[in-house]
Amino acid sequence: MAITNDTEIKIADDIFWIGGDDRTAAVFEGAFPIPEGVSYNSYLISDEKTCLLDTCDASIAAKFWKNFRHAIDGRSLDYFVINHMEPDHGAGIIQILDSYPEVTVVGNSKTFDMLYNFYGIVPKNKLEVKEGDTLCLGKHTLRFIFAVMVHWPEVMFSYDETDKILFSADAFGTFKTLSGALYADETDFDKEYLNEARRYYSNIVGKYGSKVQAVFGKLAGTPIDMICPLHGPIWRTDLGYILGKYDTWSRYEPEENGVVIAYASMYGNTAAVADRLAMLLKDRGVENITVYDVTRTHPSYVVSDAFRFSNIVLAAPTYNNSLHPTMVAVLDDMEVMAVQNRKFSIIGNGSWAPQSPRIMEDRLLGMKDMEKVGEPFIIKSSMKPEQMPELEKLADEIAASL
């Protein structure tokens, strides 16, 4: 179904998508580049009772309000479920409560704490739910499944027991706008979205893998026909695909054998070694290789491919008797997002006192279940021809480890 982008879209009996695309923001959460934009989804159930699930980001507030008003079609709003309090879904909260002062706000105790902390709001009518509580809207009954720390403490999923729809908050969402396709099955998801879905997961949720696994445990045995996340396309077919990706990512298992090579280089000498290694690996039959210059690539892309691939190669010069700052930023993000269970190799450079190999190795070994492949390949200022056999040996060892 194509999106008209000027009104709501019916996704099931009585249920409407009322979201929109943002192509204006350069970064998400003030941190992550979103060159392909991002979408914000919210949903309205128009049953015997009306129920709004979450609102939107300020960037699409006008569109959300227009869609919402059209979908509710003059009825009053009975319930307002807040599955997630992060402000990229909260820009409509005040307007909703001002327009519908009698609405019952549905959340958990942490939701209401955050509602006050962010907006100074104590709703006139509130329904504080606990794990497993249900809310009957008429034909549809919502069951609330807490998804604590996926990726905030108040997060909960709302499960429509009638149509077997999971309103999953941020989970199963992605960066990148919808651009006409509301459903994942209207896209070539592998080609169009997977990289951005992984970058979203690994950088927003990545460190909370055990919490994702806990929610999977709660969902076991629950039939799901549709997943409605707060970002990105809706899933109505092949749900096992995205559930499987989340299972793999949250277990910190590599999606595929392959190598991400991330390098910092001041004058091109470290970059030359990284590029040469990539070619040697390709010669040895390694199919999946990505190479990033971290002096111009945001760490979120490296973290994402660290979740994707089995092997990581970091290459960087020594700087101020330490490590080049752009590689420090990459390692900081890898640590924060709990990259683990990977094989790694090191390329270091130091013109008079090469410190970078030891620093990178120590930090990578400090992450959980990391295995070093080969010895650090170290150059002094530039690689010399006589070092080629050593680099080939490293390539052999990496290829053999896949």
Interaction with ligand FEO in 49-78: which residues (CB under 6 A)?
Answer: none
Provide CB contacts within 8 A for 381, sequence distance 6+.
269, 349, 351
Our finding on whether 199 is near ligand FEO (CB under 6 A) is: no
- Tell me which of 230, 274, 315, 339 binds ligand FEO, using CB under 6 A: 230
Report the phi/psi class of residue 97: left, alpha or beta, with left for phi > 0 and alpha for psi in -120 to 50: alpha
Assess contact for 157 and 215: CB atoms under 8 A: yes
Total number of residues binding ligand FEO (CB under 6 A)?
9
Stretches 73-81, 82-90, 99-107, 264-272: which one binds ligand FEO (CB under 6 A)? 82-90
Q: Residue 7, Cβ neighbours under 10 Å: how many?
A: 14
Our finding on whether 89 is near ligand FEO (CB under 6 A) is yes
State yes or no: residue 21 binds ligand FEO (CB under 6 A). no
- Per-residue contact string for residues 23-42; x = within reach of ligand FEO by CB under 6 A: --------------------
Using CA atoms, how far residue 148 sits from 133, 157, 215, 236, 374, in Å, is 15, 10, 8, 25, 40
Q: What angle do CA 129, 130, 132 make, to 5 degrees?
A: 110
Distance CA 170, CA 263 (A): 31
Residue 158 host element (H or E): strand 156-160
> Which of these ranges, 42-50, 80-88, 107-115, 385-393, lies near ligand FEO under the rule CB under 6 A?
80-88
Helix (H) or strand (E) holding 349: strand 343-349
Verify binding: residue 333, ligand FEO, rule CB under 6 A: no
Q: Exactly one of 21, 160, 170, 305 binds ligand FEO (CB under 6 A); which one?
A: 170
In the structure encoding, which two tokens stand for residue 121, read together? 């709001």
Question: Which of 71, 43, 74 is CA-nearest to residue 56?
Answer: 43
- Binding to ligand FEO by residue 88, rule CB under 6 A? yes
CB 51 within 8 A of CB 79: yes
Contact status: 84 vs ligand FEO (CB under 6 A)? yes
**Is the Cβ of residue 230 or residue 338 nearer to ligand FEO in the bound state?**
230
Residues 136-165 that bind ligand FEO (CB under 6 A): 151-152
Report the residue number, 231 or 324, with the smaller CB distance to ligand FEO.
231
Smallest gap from residue 373 Cβ to ligand FEO (A): 35
Q: Judged by CB, which is closer to ligand FEO: 184, or 291?
A: 184
| Binding window for ligand FEO (CB under 6 A); candidates: 81-89, 220-228, 265-273, 310-318 | 81-89
Give the nearest residue (CB) to ligand FEO: 86
Q: Which stretch binds ligand FEO (CB under 6 A): 83-91, 238-246, 274-282, 295-303?
A: 83-91
Least separation in angstroms between CB 177 and ligand FEO: 14
Question: What does the angle CA 23 – CA 27 – CA 32 come to, to the nearest 5 degrees?
Answer: 130
For residues 13 and 11, give the distance between their C-alpha atoms in angstroms, rounded to a whole number. Answer: 7
Point out which residues bind ligand FEO (CB under 6 A).
84, 86, 88-89, 151-152, 170, 230-231
